[in-house]
Protein backbone atom coordinates (compact mmCIF):
# COMPACT_ATOMS: atom_id res chain seq x y z
CA UNK A 1 0.00 0.00 0.00
CA UNK A 2 1.42 3.39 -1.02
CA UNK A 3 1.37 6.46 1.24
CA UNK A 4 -1.45 7.91 -0.89
CA UNK A 5 -3.49 4.69 -0.50
CA UNK A 6 -2.87 4.60 3.26
CA UNK A 7 -3.90 8.26 3.54
CA UNK A 8 -7.03 7.55 1.51
CA UNK A 9 -8.02 4.72 3.86
CA UNK A 10 -7.39 6.76 7.03
CA UNK A 11 -8.40 10.33 6.11
CA UNK A 12 -12.14 9.83 5.49
CA UNK A 13 -11.82 11.76 2.22
CA UNK A 14 -12.98 10.42 -1.13
CA UNK A 15 -10.39 9.61 -3.76
CA UNK A 16 -11.48 12.64 -5.81
CA UNK A 17 -11.22 14.97 -2.77
CA UNK A 18 -7.77 13.66 -1.88
CA UNK A 19 -6.51 13.86 -5.49
CA UNK A 20 -7.74 17.47 -5.68
CA UNK A 21 -5.99 18.27 -2.40
CA UNK A 22 -2.82 16.62 -3.67
CA UNK A 23 -2.97 18.55 -6.99
CA UNK A 24 -3.46 21.89 -5.18
CA UNK A 25 -0.56 21.12 -2.83
CA UNK A 26 1.75 20.24 -5.74
CA UNK A 27 0.71 23.38 -7.67
CA UNK A 28 2.11 25.45 -4.81
CA UNK A 29 5.08 23.11 -4.36
CA UNK A 30 5.93 21.71 -7.83
CA UNK A 31 9.28 20.27 -6.74
CA UNK A 32 7.67 17.72 -4.43
CA UNK A 33 6.93 14.21 -5.70
CA UNK A 34 3.63 12.41 -4.93
CA UNK A 35 5.11 10.43 -2.06
CA UNK A 36 6.42 13.47 -0.16
CA UNK A 37 3.31 15.54 -0.98
CA UNK A 38 1.04 12.78 0.37
CA UNK A 39 3.20 12.52 3.47
CA UNK A 40 2.79 16.24 4.24
CA UNK A 41 -0.92 16.30 3.50
CA UNK A 42 -1.19 13.52 6.08
CA UNK A 43 0.63 15.76 8.58
CA UNK A 44 -1.80 18.62 7.82
CA UNK A 45 -4.78 16.32 8.36
CA UNK A 46 -3.30 14.82 11.54
CA UNK A 47 -3.21 11.34 9.99
CA UNK A 48 -0.46 9.05 11.29
CA UNK A 49 1.31 7.41 8.36
CA UNK A 50 3.53 4.34 8.56
CA UNK A 51 6.85 5.94 7.62
CA UNK A 52 8.40 2.54 6.96
CA UNK A 53 6.73 2.81 3.54
CA UNK A 54 8.98 5.73 2.60
CA UNK A 55 11.55 4.93 -0.06
CA UNK A 56 14.99 5.36 1.54
CA UNK A 57 17.90 6.58 -0.61
CA UNK A 58 21.39 5.31 0.40
CA UNK A 59 23.89 8.15 0.91
CA UNK A 60 26.30 6.73 -1.65
CA UNK A 61 23.62 7.13 -4.37
CA UNK A 62 23.02 10.80 -3.58
CA UNK A 63 24.46 13.23 -6.14
CA UNK A 64 24.43 16.99 -6.71
CA UNK A 65 21.01 16.75 -8.45
CA UNK A 66 19.27 14.90 -5.62
CA UNK A 67 16.03 16.29 -4.21
CA UNK A 68 12.99 14.79 -2.47
CA UNK A 69 15.21 12.07 -0.96
CA UNK A 70 14.46 10.27 2.29
CA UNK A 71 17.35 9.06 4.42
CA UNK A 72 17.65 6.83 7.48
CA UNK A 73 20.95 7.64 9.14
CA UNK A 74 22.94 7.53 12.36
CA UNK A 75 24.42 10.74 13.75
CA UNK A 76 28.21 10.36 13.85
CA UNK A 77 28.93 13.90 14.99
CA UNK A 78 26.67 16.71 16.14
CA UNK A 79 27.40 20.40 16.44
CA UNK A 80 25.58 22.89 18.69
CA UNK A 81 22.44 24.57 17.41
CA UNK A 82 23.28 28.12 16.33
CA UNK A 83 21.40 31.21 15.19
CA UNK A 84 21.53 32.61 11.66
CA UNK A 85 20.48 35.94 10.18
CA UNK A 86 20.94 36.07 6.40
CA UNK A 87 18.95 37.63 3.55
CA UNK A 88 16.47 39.10 6.06
CA UNK A 89 15.75 35.62 7.38
CA UNK A 90 16.36 34.62 10.97
CA UNK A 91 16.29 31.23 12.58
CA UNK A 92 18.41 28.39 13.84
CA UNK A 93 20.34 25.55 12.28
CA UNK A 94 22.20 22.44 13.39
CA UNK A 95 24.96 20.71 11.44
CA UNK A 96 25.37 16.95 11.73
CA UNK A 97 27.72 14.39 10.24
CA UNK A 98 25.55 11.38 9.40
CA UNK A 99 26.16 7.89 8.07
CA UNK A 100 24.12 4.98 6.79
CA UNK A 101 27.09 2.59 6.42
CA UNK A 102 27.39 3.43 2.70
CA UNK A 103 28.87 6.92 3.13
CA UNK A 104 29.26 9.89 5.48
CA UNK A 105 27.76 13.30 4.66
CA UNK A 106 27.08 16.62 6.32
CA UNK A 107 23.42 17.33 7.00
CA UNK A 108 22.14 20.80 7.88
CA UNK A 109 18.81 20.86 9.68
CA UNK A 110 17.17 24.26 9.41
CA UNK A 111 15.06 25.36 12.38
CA UNK A 112 15.36 22.04 14.23
CA UNK A 113 12.60 21.18 16.69
CA UNK A 114 15.07 19.44 19.02
CA UNK A 115 18.80 19.04 19.60
CA UNK A 116 20.14 15.93 17.87
CA UNK A 117 23.13 14.19 19.44
CA UNK A 118 25.74 11.63 18.46
CA UNK A 119 24.25 8.15 18.29
CA UNK A 120 20.71 9.27 17.37
CA UNK A 121 19.10 7.37 14.51
CA UNK A 122 16.98 9.76 12.47
CA UNK A 123 14.59 9.48 9.54
CA UNK A 124 14.79 12.63 7.42
CA UNK A 125 12.31 13.22 4.62
CA UNK A 126 12.61 15.44 1.58
CA UNK A 127 16.28 16.36 1.74
CA UNK A 128 18.10 18.06 -1.10
CA UNK A 129 21.76 18.58 -2.00
CA UNK A 130 23.85 21.65 -2.59
CA UNK A 131 27.55 21.88 -3.38
CA UNK A 132 29.93 23.77 -1.12
CA UNK A 133 33.61 23.82 -2.14
CA UNK A 134 32.79 20.91 -4.49
CA UNK A 135 31.50 18.78 -1.60
CA UNK A 136 27.93 17.51 -1.45
CA UNK A 137 25.96 18.78 1.57
CA UNK A 138 22.49 17.61 2.60
CA UNK A 139 19.86 20.16 3.60
CA UNK A 140 16.32 20.13 4.92
CA UNK A 141 13.55 22.49 3.86
CA UNK A 142 10.20 23.60 5.27
CA UNK A 143 8.74 20.44 3.72
CA UNK A 144 11.20 18.15 5.47
CA UNK A 145 10.60 16.22 8.64
CA UNK A 146 13.15 14.81 11.08
CA UNK A 147 12.14 12.00 13.40
CA UNK A 148 14.25 10.12 15.93
CA UNK A 149 13.82 6.39 15.40
CA UNK A 150 14.52 3.31 17.47
CA UNK A 151 18.24 2.56 17.34
CA UNK A 152 17.40 -1.09 16.67
CA UNK A 153 16.32 -0.02 13.18
CA UNK A 154 19.90 0.88 12.39
CA UNK A 155 22.90 -1.30 13.02
CA UNK A 156 26.12 0.78 12.98
CA UNK A 157 28.91 -0.91 11.05
CA UNK A 158 32.47 0.19 10.45
CA UNK A 159 34.82 -0.04 7.50
CA UNK A 160 37.46 -2.42 8.90
CA UNK A 161 40.92 -1.96 7.39
CA UNK A 162 44.57 -2.78 8.05
CA UNK A 163 47.02 0.11 8.23
CA UNK A 164 48.52 -0.75 4.85
CA UNK A 165 45.06 -0.58 3.21
CA UNK A 166 44.19 2.96 4.28
CA UNK A 167 43.43 5.61 1.68
CA UNK A 168 42.77 9.33 1.73
CA UNK A 169 39.19 10.25 2.74
CA UNK A 170 38.40 6.80 4.22
CA UNK A 171 35.71 7.36 6.87
CA UNK A 172 33.88 5.31 9.48
CA UNK A 173 37.00 3.20 9.96
CA UNK A 174 37.71 0.39 12.39
CA UNK A 175 41.47 0.07 12.83
CA UNK A 176 43.69 -1.76 15.31
CA UNK A 177 47.28 -0.96 16.20
CA UNK A 178 49.82 -0.73 19.00
CA UNK A 179 50.79 2.68 20.39
CA UNK A 180 54.55 2.92 19.80
CA UNK A 181 55.18 6.68 19.94
CA UNK A 182 53.23 9.37 21.77
CA UNK A 183 53.92 13.09 21.81
CA UNK A 184 52.89 15.57 24.49
CA UNK A 185 49.28 16.69 24.65
CA UNK A 186 49.06 20.27 23.41
CA UNK A 187 46.40 22.85 24.18
CA UNK A 188 45.51 25.82 21.97
CA UNK A 189 42.84 28.49 21.78
CA UNK A 190 40.35 28.58 18.93
CA UNK A 191 37.28 30.83 18.72
CA UNK A 192 37.58 31.66 22.40
CA UNK A 193 37.72 28.01 23.48
CA UNK A 194 40.63 25.97 24.79
CA UNK A 195 41.08 22.86 22.65
CA UNK A 196 43.57 20.00 22.66
CA UNK A 197 45.48 17.85 20.19
CA UNK A 198 47.80 14.87 20.59
CA UNK A 199 49.86 13.13 17.91
CA UNK A 200 50.86 9.49 18.26
CA UNK A 201 51.93 6.55 16.12
CA UNK A 202 50.41 3.09 15.96
CA UNK A 203 51.96 -0.05 14.47
CA UNK A 204 50.46 -3.23 13.06
CA UNK A 205 52.74 -6.06 11.94
CA UNK A 206 55.49 -3.63 10.99
CA UNK A 207 53.26 -1.04 9.32
CA UNK A 208 53.07 2.32 11.05
CA UNK A 209 50.66 5.23 10.82
CA UNK A 210 50.61 8.68 12.38
CA UNK A 211 47.41 9.43 14.32
CA UNK A 212 46.03 12.78 15.45
CA UNK A 213 43.62 12.88 18.40
CA UNK A 214 41.36 15.88 19.02
CA UNK A 215 39.07 16.88 21.89
CA UNK A 216 38.01 14.13 24.28
CA UNK A 217 40.09 11.54 22.41
CA UNK A 218 43.29 13.32 23.51
CA UNK A 219 42.71 12.43 27.17
CA UNK A 220 41.87 8.81 26.38
CA UNK A 221 45.07 8.35 24.38
CA UNK A 222 47.17 10.38 26.81
CA UNK A 223 46.14 8.07 29.68
CA UNK A 224 47.33 4.96 27.81
CA UNK A 225 50.81 3.51 28.14
CA UNK A 226 53.11 2.88 25.21
CA UNK A 227 52.93 -0.63 23.71
CA UNK A 228 49.16 -0.81 24.32
CA UNK A 229 47.16 -2.44 21.54
CA UNK A 230 43.98 -0.48 20.80
CA UNK A 231 40.95 -0.68 18.54
CA UNK A 232 39.70 2.58 17.03
CA UNK A 233 36.09 2.77 15.84
CA UNK A 234 34.84 5.77 13.92
CA UNK A 235 38.21 7.19 12.88
CA UNK A 236 38.94 8.67 9.47
CA UNK A 237 42.00 9.03 7.21
CA UNK A 238 43.26 12.07 5.34
CA UNK A 239 46.42 13.26 3.64
CA UNK A 240 48.42 16.01 5.32
CA UNK A 241 51.42 17.31 3.37
CA UNK A 242 51.72 13.97 1.61
CA UNK A 243 51.48 11.92 4.82
CA UNK A 244 48.37 9.81 5.45
CA UNK A 245 47.05 10.42 8.97
CA UNK A 246 44.33 8.81 11.07
CA UNK A 247 42.17 11.32 12.93
CA UNK A 248 40.21 10.73 16.15
CA UNK A 249 37.51 13.04 17.49
CA UNK A 250 35.02 13.19 20.37
CA UNK A 251 33.00 10.35 18.88
CA UNK A 252 35.81 7.91 18.13
CA UNK A 253 35.58 4.83 20.35
CA UNK A 254 38.92 3.69 21.81
CA UNK A 255 38.98 0.10 23.10
CA UNK A 256 41.98 -1.44 24.86
CA UNK A 257 42.78 -4.91 23.48
CA UNK A 258 46.14 -5.76 25.07
CA UNK A 259 48.86 -4.17 27.19
CA UNK A 260 52.66 -4.48 27.13
CA UNK A 261 52.80 -5.77 23.56
CA UNK A 262 56.47 -6.55 22.68
CA UNK A 263 58.27 -4.25 20.29
CA UNK A 264 58.10 -5.27 16.65
CA UNK A 265 61.43 -6.49 15.28
CA UNK A 266 61.80 -5.04 11.77
CA UNK A 267 63.17 -7.30 9.05
CA UNK A 268 65.92 -6.41 6.60
CA UNK A 269 64.65 -5.40 3.14
CA UNK A 270 66.15 -4.37 -0.17
CA UNK A 271 65.11 -1.01 -1.62
CA UNK A 272 63.11 -2.78 -4.35
CA UNK A 273 61.07 -4.60 -1.65
CA UNK A 274 60.00 -1.50 0.33
CA UNK A 275 56.27 -1.02 0.95
CA UNK A 276 54.64 2.21 2.09
CA UNK A 277 54.51 2.68 5.89
CA UNK A 278 56.21 -0.66 6.55
CA UNK A 279 58.81 -0.36 9.31
CA UNK A 280 61.96 -2.20 8.22
CA UNK A 281 65.77 -2.27 8.18
CA UNK A 282 67.88 -1.20 5.22
CA UNK A 283 71.60 -1.53 4.51
CA UNK A 284 72.46 0.97 1.77
CA UNK A 285 75.00 3.49 0.59
CA UNK A 286 74.60 7.19 -0.16
CA UNK A 287 74.88 7.77 -3.89
CA UNK A 288 74.53 11.55 -3.82
CA UNK A 289 73.17 14.55 -1.89
CA UNK A 290 69.89 15.89 -3.28
CA UNK A 291 69.49 18.88 -0.95
CA UNK A 292 70.34 20.12 2.54
CA UNK A 293 68.53 22.49 4.87
CA UNK A 294 69.79 24.13 8.04
CA UNK A 295 68.02 27.10 9.65
CA UNK A 296 67.84 28.48 13.14
CA UNK A 297 64.48 29.43 14.60
CA UNK A 298 63.84 32.03 17.28
CA UNK A 299 62.71 30.47 20.56
CA UNK A 300 60.69 33.60 21.39
CA UNK A 301 58.61 34.15 18.24
CA UNK A 302 59.25 30.99 16.19
CA UNK A 303 60.45 32.85 13.09
CA UNK A 304 63.51 31.93 11.05
CA UNK A 305 66.59 33.89 12.06
CA UNK A 306 69.16 35.63 9.86
CA UNK A 307 72.86 34.86 10.09
CA UNK A 308 75.05 37.94 10.38
CA UNK A 309 78.73 37.03 10.58
CA UNK A 310 78.74 34.13 13.07
CA UNK A 311 75.65 35.24 14.99
CA UNK A 312 71.94 34.72 14.45
CA UNK A 313 69.60 37.69 14.56
CA UNK A 314 65.79 37.71 14.74
CA UNK A 315 64.33 40.42 12.52
CA UNK A 316 60.90 40.09 14.16
CA UNK A 317 62.18 40.49 17.73
CA UNK A 318 64.84 42.92 16.41
CA UNK A 319 67.47 41.32 18.62
CA UNK A 320 69.70 38.35 19.18
CA UNK A 321 67.61 35.61 20.76
CA UNK A 322 67.99 32.05 21.92
CA UNK A 323 67.41 29.74 18.98
CA UNK A 324 67.26 26.12 17.91
CA UNK A 325 68.13 24.38 14.66
CA UNK A 326 65.85 22.84 12.08
CA UNK A 327 67.79 20.65 9.70
CA UNK A 328 67.41 17.79 7.25
CA UNK A 329 69.18 16.31 4.27
CA UNK A 330 67.79 14.49 1.26
CA UNK A 331 70.03 11.77 -0.12
CA UNK A 332 69.79 9.38 -3.01
CA UNK A 333 70.51 5.97 -1.49
CA UNK A 334 71.16 2.71 -3.34
CA UNK A 335 71.75 -0.99 -2.93
CA UNK A 336 72.09 -3.85 -5.41
CA UNK A 337 68.32 -3.85 -6.05
CA UNK A 338 67.75 -0.18 -6.85
CA UNK A 339 67.68 3.32 -5.39
CA UNK A 340 65.40 5.71 -3.52
CA UNK A 341 65.46 9.19 -2.07
CA UNK A 342 65.80 9.26 1.71
CA UNK A 343 65.36 11.98 4.31
CA UNK A 344 67.52 12.27 7.44
CA UNK A 345 66.29 14.65 10.14
CA UNK A 346 68.42 16.69 12.54
CA UNK A 347 68.49 13.99 15.22
CA UNK A 348 69.65 11.32 12.76
CA UNK A 349 72.20 13.62 11.12
CA UNK A 350 73.73 14.48 14.50
CA UNK A 351 74.20 10.78 15.21
CA UNK A 352 75.56 10.11 11.71
CA UNK A 353 78.13 12.92 12.02
CA UNK A 354 78.68 12.50 15.79
CA UNK A 355 78.13 16.18 16.56
CA UNK A 356 75.84 18.67 18.29
CA UNK A 357 73.45 21.00 16.44
CA UNK A 358 75.92 23.92 16.44
CA UNK A 359 78.62 21.82 14.73
CA UNK A 360 76.02 20.29 12.43
CA UNK A 361 75.75 23.32 10.10
CA UNK A 362 79.45 23.20 9.16
CA UNK A 363 79.61 19.42 8.88
CA UNK A 364 76.54 19.25 6.64
CA UNK A 365 78.29 21.60 4.21
CA UNK A 366 81.80 20.15 4.34
CA UNK A 367 81.27 16.40 4.68
CA UNK A 368 81.61 14.19 1.59
CA UNK A 369 78.62 11.86 2.03
CA UNK A 370 79.13 9.91 -1.19
CA UNK A 371 79.65 6.18 -0.52
CA UNK A 372 78.81 6.49 3.18
CA UNK A 373 76.94 3.45 4.47
CA UNK A 374 73.47 3.94 5.90
CA UNK A 375 72.27 1.09 8.11
CA UNK A 376 68.93 2.26 9.42
CA UNK A 377 65.39 1.52 10.50
CA UNK A 378 62.56 3.51 8.94
CA UNK A 379 59.76 3.36 6.41
CA UNK A 380 58.82 4.40 2.89
CA UNK A 381 56.31 7.24 2.68
CA UNK A 382 54.89 9.89 0.35
CA UNK A 383 56.11 13.45 0.91
CA UNK A 384 54.09 16.64 0.43
CA UNK A 385 54.90 16.57 -3.29
CA UNK A 386 53.47 13.04 -3.50
CA UNK A 387 56.95 11.65 -4.12
CA UNK A 388 58.31 8.50 -2.49
CA UNK A 389 61.00 8.86 0.15
CA UNK A 390 62.48 6.61 2.83
CA UNK A 391 62.15 8.25 6.24
CA UNK A 392 65.14 7.27 8.39
CA UNK A 393 63.87 6.92 11.94
CA UNK A 394 67.03 5.63 13.63
CA UNK A 395 70.54 4.57 12.61
CA UNK A 396 71.76 1.10 13.65
Structural domain span for residue 387: 271-294+326-395
pLDDT at 183 over 80: yes
Digit-coded pLDDT (tens) for 69-115: 889 998 988 899 999 888 788 899 999 989 887 778 899 999 998 99
CB atoms within 10 A of CB 132: 9
pLDDT at 355 over 90: yes
Q: For residue 206, give the CATH number of its domain.
A: 2.40.50.140
Domain contains 145: yes
Strand 121-132 and strand 69-78: pairing? antiparallel
Among residues 258, 283, 308, the one where a domain terminates is 258
* β-sheet bridge partners, residue 215: none
pLDDT at 268 over 80: yes
Same domain, 48 and 5: yes
Same domain, 175 and 143: no
Domain contains 8: yes
pTM metric for this prediction: 0.61
Span 183-200, average pLDDT? 89
Among residues 258, 286, 310, the one where a domain terminates is 258
Same domain, 86 and 110: yes
Digit-coded pLDDT (tens) for 198-213: 999 999 999 999 999 9
Domain contains 304: no
Same domain, 195 and 278: no
Same domain, 166 and 153: no
Counting the structural domains of the chain, the total is 4
Same domain, 105 and 72: yes
pLDDT at 44 over 90: no
Three-class secondary structure assignment of 53-68:
HCCCCCHHHCCCCCCC
Domain contains 299: no
Same domain, 210 and 178: yes
The three-state secondary structure class of 219 is helix
Domain contains 117: yes
pLDDT at 1 over 70: no
Whole-number percent of the chain with pLDDT over 90 = 46
Q: Choose among 338, 385, 346, 384: nearest CA to 363.
A: 346
Domain contains 87: yes
Same domain, 197 and 111: no
Same domain, 64 and 126: yes
Same domain, 128 and 82: yes
Domain contains 34: yes
How confident is the prediction for the chain on average, in pLDDT? 88
Cα dihedral 205, 210, 216, 221 in deg (nearest 10): 50
Same domain, 167 and 142: no
Q: Choose among 170, 315, 139: nearest CA to 247.
A: 170
Higher pLDDT, 323 or 337: 337
Could you tell me the CA-to-CA distances from 60 to 233, 294, 295 in Å, in that order?
Answer: 20, 48, 48
Span 220-246, average pLDDT? 92
CB burial string 288-319: b at 16+ within 10 A, e below: eeeebebebbbeeeeeebeeeeeebbbeeeee
Q: What is the pLDDT of residue 89?
A: 84
pLDDT at 153 over 80: no
Among residues 15, 36, 54, the one where a domain terminates is 54
CB atoms within 10 A of CB 268: 11
Domain contains 302: no
Same domain, 345 and 275: yes
Amino acid sequence: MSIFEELLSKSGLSKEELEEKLANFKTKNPDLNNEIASFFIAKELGVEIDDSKLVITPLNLIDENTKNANILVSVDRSYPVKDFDTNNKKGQLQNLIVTDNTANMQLTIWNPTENFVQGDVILVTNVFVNLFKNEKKLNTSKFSSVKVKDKKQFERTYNEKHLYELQDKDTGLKVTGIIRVKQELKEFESQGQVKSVLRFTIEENGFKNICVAWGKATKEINDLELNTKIELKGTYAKLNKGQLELHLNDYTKVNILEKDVPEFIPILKNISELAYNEYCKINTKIKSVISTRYVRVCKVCGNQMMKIDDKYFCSVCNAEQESYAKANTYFLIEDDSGNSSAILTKKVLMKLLNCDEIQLETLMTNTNFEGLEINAIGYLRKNRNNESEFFVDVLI
